[in-house]
Amino acid sequence: MFCSHCGIKLNGGVRFCKNCGVPVGSPWPRYDRPEPHDDGGFYAQDIERNKGLAALSYIPFLFLLPLIACPESRYARFHANQGLVFLIAVMAWSIVFGAVSSILSFIWIVGPFITALLSLSWLLFMAWFMVGVINALGGRARPLPFIGGIRILS
C-alpha cells in the first residue's frame, strides 16, 4: 500500500501517512500538501491540532494520553516521549532522595543541612516541567535539557 499523496510505502492498518500526514486514501492533490514546520520537520497542521495533548504529557502518567488520543501524531509522540523520560527521572530521583535523606537523618548536625540542600534539586524538576509545557503549547519540539535526548518511544 502506498500513500496517494507522497507515494511512500505504508504499513497495513495505518490511518495517516507517516511521511506527509495525509489521511490514507485522501484525495488531496499534491499542491495542497501541508508544509513542514521549521522545528524538527513536524507539520504545522499536526502541531496545531495536538499541542494541547502534547502539553498534558508532562503531567505524571498522562504521557499515555497523546499516545491513545492521537497515535499517528509525530508531534504528540515526541512530547509523550519527553513526558515519559521526565516521569522516569522524577521517580528515580525520588528513590535516591528518599534513601539519601534516610541515611543522612542519622547524622546529627550535617544531615538535615545536606537534606535541605538536596531539596532544592526539586526546582530543577519544576523547571523541566515548565519548559516542556511551554515548548508543547508554543509549537516547539525541543528536548528537555540534559534528559531530553533519551528516546524510549519511537
* pLDDT: which is higher, 38 or 110: 110
Residues 130-134, mean pLDDT to the nearest whole number: 97
Same structural domain, 103 and 55: yes
pLDDT at position 31 is 38
Q: State residue 2's pLDDT score.
A: 74
Report yes or no on 151 lying in a domain.
no
Q: Could you give the number of structural domains in the chain?
A: 2
State pLDDT tens for residues 30-54.
434 445 554 567 888 889 999 999 9
User: How many C-beta atoms surround the C-beta of residue 87 within 10 A?
Assistant: 17
The count of other CB atoms within 10 Å of the CB of residue 129 is: 17
How many C-beta neighbours within 10 Å does residue 79 have? 27
Residues in the chain: 154
Q: For the whole model, what pTM was predicted?
A: 0.72
| Judgement on whether residues 86 and 19 belong to the same structural domain of the protein | no
52/101 same-domain check: yes
